[in-house]
Amino acid sequence: MKGRARVRARAATPTLALALLAAAPAGAAGPATLPGVHLSWVRGDGAGVCPDAAAIEAEVTERLGGNPFARAPTQFIEAVITQKTEGFQVTIAMRGGEGKLLGSRALTSSPGDCQSIATAAALTIAILIDPDALARAPAPKPAPPPPPQPAAGAAPGNRMPAGRVTALAGAGWGLVPGVAPGAGLAATVDAPGPFAIGVTAVLYPEQRPDPPDDGFAFGLTYGELAGCWLPLAQLAPAARLRVELCAGAAVGVLHAVVFAATPTAPGQRWTFAPAQLTRLIIPIYGGLVGELAVEATEPLPRRAFFIAGRPAGMETVFAQPAVTLAGWGGVGLRWK
């Protein structure tokens, strides 16, 4: 038989096996008596996508039922795989310890996937080492380890989503007279995908208008619900900063205090406003984070308070503008 046999990789196994059985050395070795072998697997031009030496050795070991590469070598196999215009080519040469050529093979495949010819090459190497390798089924692969059991008392699928709680302090314009200080407490929980849901409770203490209307004071308490999109979660997943672009609504009560004169229809007034927020979350240490935010709201309806009997143009004590603004800063604690 000729020393070089041309075989197509996809149909190589049965044809190649018969040829090798006819030409292999007569002394077949069982798994316990396999010779020590050194394998040199070289990926030449265009073959960088092919399996590496470790993968070929693992496939040969599985076929032989033992690892000849872990023993002191008495035989040396050199295999070179390259990619040509017509497809992949593998040349394999086996030599003894004294350098004598014990056998050589050449394989070719059509252009495409390198895995098929690499598998054929691994089978060829296994048969060169032990001609009986084809007659034995590959050693069974170990069963995969069982999946980890959930911790005692933990209900599957009941994991708490990531989130944070933040204490806020800031100031707003237009919500009550002038620029007024405010305080709030916010909680945000991550939703599936680059989204989050937040709730906030806010208090603006009573604020007096400028003279001559300082006989009155106005305060505001409201709760807010908003949905947020996290752009950096999609554009820069590795970024430590977190940006939240949010939209929602605020519902609360606007309360007035009259220190002079006699109030007409006294009491609190409910208020509703669409809200838009931009928040920047800055990691500080561990789960501790800083938060900066700007917010715009549009009160509906816009509340206005008047003093009866004043000249036209002077009767308004306080009226909410079409758009109110607020800025916030705070420190929060994030889990997960």
Q: What is the DSSP string of 144-175?
A: PPPPPPPPTTPPTT-PPPPEEEEEEEEEEESS
- Per-residue pLDDT at 69 exceeds 50: yes
CATH annotation of 9-135: 3.40.50
SS3 content of the chain, % helix, strand, coil (to 5): 15, 45, 40
Among residues 199, 202, 220, 218, which one has the least CA distance to residue 210? Answer: 218
Q: Which pTM was predicted? A: 0.52
Find the mean pLDDT for residues 1-15: 37
Q: Do domains 9-135 and 163-335 have the same CATH topology?
A: no
Q: What is the per-residue pLDDT across 17-32, written as a single tens digit (0 to 9) for each?
A: 334 433 444 444 556 6
What residues does each domain of the chain span?
9-135, 163-335
Sign of the dihedral through C-alpha 245, 249, 253, 257: positive
- From the list 168, 181, 267, the residue with the least C-alpha distance to 224 is 168
pLDDT: which is higher, 21 or 155: 155
**Phi/psi of residue 232, nearest 5 degrees:** -70, -25
Strands 37-43 and 75-84: parallel
Instruction: Dihedral sign for Cα 148, 149, 151, 155, please.
Output: positive
Would you state the pLDDT for residue 160? 83
Average pLDDT of the residues in 52-69: 89
Least confident of 66-70, 144-148, 276-280, 287-291: 144-148
Domain 163-335 falls in which CATH fold? Porin (2.40.160)
More reliable by pLDDT, 264 or 320: 320
* Pairwise CA distance, residues 323 & 20, whole Å: 86
